Amino acid sequence: MDPLTLLLAASVFTLIGVIAGIATGLIPGLHVNNVALASVALQGSLISLAMFLFGWADPTLEELLLIVSTLIIGNVVTHTFLDFIPSVFLGAPEGDTALSVLPGHRMLLKGLGYEAVKLSAFGSLMSVFLALCMIIPLRLVMGSPIFAYEKLQGVIFFILLIVVMMLVLTERGEKKTSRLSRPYLSCHVPDGLILSEDEELEGLEAFEPTEIDRLREHLSQAVIVDGVVAEQTDQESFVLAQGESKVKVYLDGQASLEIGAKVKVFGIVKGKLSLLSHLQPKGLALGVFLLAGILGFIILGTPGFAQNNWYPIPQLVIDSSMVAFFPLFTGLFGVSTLLISLNDQPSIPPQEIDDDPPKIEGWRKTRAVMSGTVAGTFVGWFPGISAASATVIAKLLGGGEPKKVDSLESNKEFMIAISGVNTATGIFTILALFVILKARSGAMNAVKLMIGKNIVPWEPLQNVPFQMSLMLFSVLLAALVAYGLTHVMGKMFARRFSRVPYKKLVIGVLSYLVIMIFLFSGPLGLVVGGVATCIGMIPPLIGVKRVHLMGCLILPIMTFFLG
């Protein structure tokens, strides 16, 4: 088969994979591993289809298997683009997109659900381009002459330990865990102080007045406080009162105030943090991490968990790992989020729909794409590290938790980063297959089963394997098509979503997820999902980040490498 015909055949099967990716991406519960392993099981039929379409070009069996394998590549890439749509609009994530639930929901509640989808599509596409540019440098680092992969195998435990320590030690908690001892206000005069309750501070109309009793929740933030002057011992400070509540106000200039005068203060909340305020959120975060880790360890480390279960429809259980991972992640991140949103009963505003590029600062875009793509390298090279685990790294590389003053911008940045992790992973797992001859995902394992005997190691550097080149072409084609599909599908969801009764929708999605858990994972899956849901509701209730729930994967991986 001549090269142009082979490219044409690979394009056709890549587009078939794109169609499969639409289904796996938009329907919660369907995974690329199902399609990948089904492709292996049906490779005889797929080869017959390839022969029917391109038999006139006299393809060899090696070429036919390579053509069929591009279907899996197209499915994987398309899935990483489209699976953010149900994550944003339905709150029903898979493991790879689990951490995008809350940022996506926050944007949905602001009428920016379609914007979130555009951001994820942008992050995925840009990560494809960046990952392709990183192929040769990574080949030189992980393969000859440096052989970093072999050298790093012995320190993976310590790498993960550093990630966990960074997560726990940077946890500052939310309103439920913040404890300030004697907060005070730092005010600039005269601009931040006016002597009439009825006057407005120019340019600060968007600030809502804050109660003195709630200043503890706004450490290092700018606030406006109304009240009366209760005491003034000198001209550079006074006591502001709201009923029985009082706060000390320090001025950077002098002002003479009358006792009982009504004033309005625009200032920064300051104060010493109590020791408990430092330790409590970190202790809670560590507790959540360990709790989720123990659950993951029990599920992943129990012999015969999948084999000794009962399945209503055994034919659906193509990949036994789904028995554990699907209910685990659905409970930790999907069902728990939906239950909390059901309790809150949020009002979903009409979604803003436009074709403009995502509205986010350029430096944030760049940082998000780079952090997501770099984090994706961990998945492609090291055993046991999933895209969800790498998201932890992307979150740290991307600036950590958003501050309240720029939380929307930080949510947008995180959506780009997490989508970059998932899509870049697809490219790096292909690279790993030809450099270290290891399959680092279920999809790549299926490809290896198909063409394993024909895999040519990428050695030396100038001898680029043709099979790898064709797969990377499939990645690029699928990414370009999926980018457009994501915008189209996202726009369809956004236009209709605000008209759907949210409570009924949530109940419907919850029912669907429970049914899917039962079909894919049987009775044990329901037990796992129920326990995971209870644990998944803990972080928002105690005021720490959900990212610590990734202990369900990180802790078992750490114990594996420690042993």
In order of their start, the domains of the chain are 3-174+281-347+369-562 (no CATH), 180-273 (2.40.50)
Which residues have CB under 8 Å from 514's CB, separation 6+?
Answer: 335, 526, 529
User: Which of the 8 DSSP states describes residue 358?
Assistant: P
Tell me if 476 sits within 8 A of 15, measured CB to CB. no
Alpha-carbon torsion (152, 159, 84, 412), positive or negative:
negative
Distances (CA, A) of 385 to 116, 156, 501, 524, 549: 26, 10, 38, 24, 15
- Digitized pLDDT (tens) for each residue of the chain, 563 residues in all: 898 999 999 999 999 999 999 988 887 656 787 688 678 878 889 999 999 999 999 999 999 999 999 999 999 999 999 988 888 887 645 545 545 556 777 788 778 889 999 999 999 999 999 999 999 999 999 988 998 888 887 887 887 888 788 878 878 766 444 555 678 898 888 777 876 655 555 555 556 788 888 887 787 788 889 889 999 888 889 999 998 889 999 998 888 888 988 888 888 888 766 666 678 889 999 999 999 999 988 887 776 666 677 777 664 554 555 567 778 888 887 788 778 777 765 667 788 888 888 888 888 889 889 988 988 887 777 765 655 556 656 565 554 444 443 467 777 888 888 888 889 988 999 999 999 888 877 788 889 988 877 788 999 999 999 999 999 999 999 999 999 999 999 999 888 877 777 778 778 888 888 888 888 778 888 999 999 999 999 988 888 888 788 888 888 888 887 76
- Beta strand 222-234 pairing with 193-194: unpaired
Report the alpha-carbon distance of residue 475 to residue 75 in Å, rounded.
10
Q: Is 144 left (phi over 0), alpha (psi -120 to 50) or beta?
A: beta
CA distances 517 to 208, 349, 533, 535, Å, are 45, 31, 13, 17
Q: Is the separation of the CB atoms in 556 and 296 below 8 Å? A: yes
- Picking from 289, 296, 331, the residue whose alpha carbon sits closest to that of residue 534 is 331
The closest alpha carbon to 536, from 545, 549, 547, 524, belongs to 549
CB 67 within 8 A of CB 6: yes
Q: Which residues pair with 248 in a beta bridge?
A: 184, 239
- Flag whether the pTM goes above 0.75: no
DSSP class of residue 190 equals T
Contact criterion met (CB below 8 Å) for 60 and 395: no
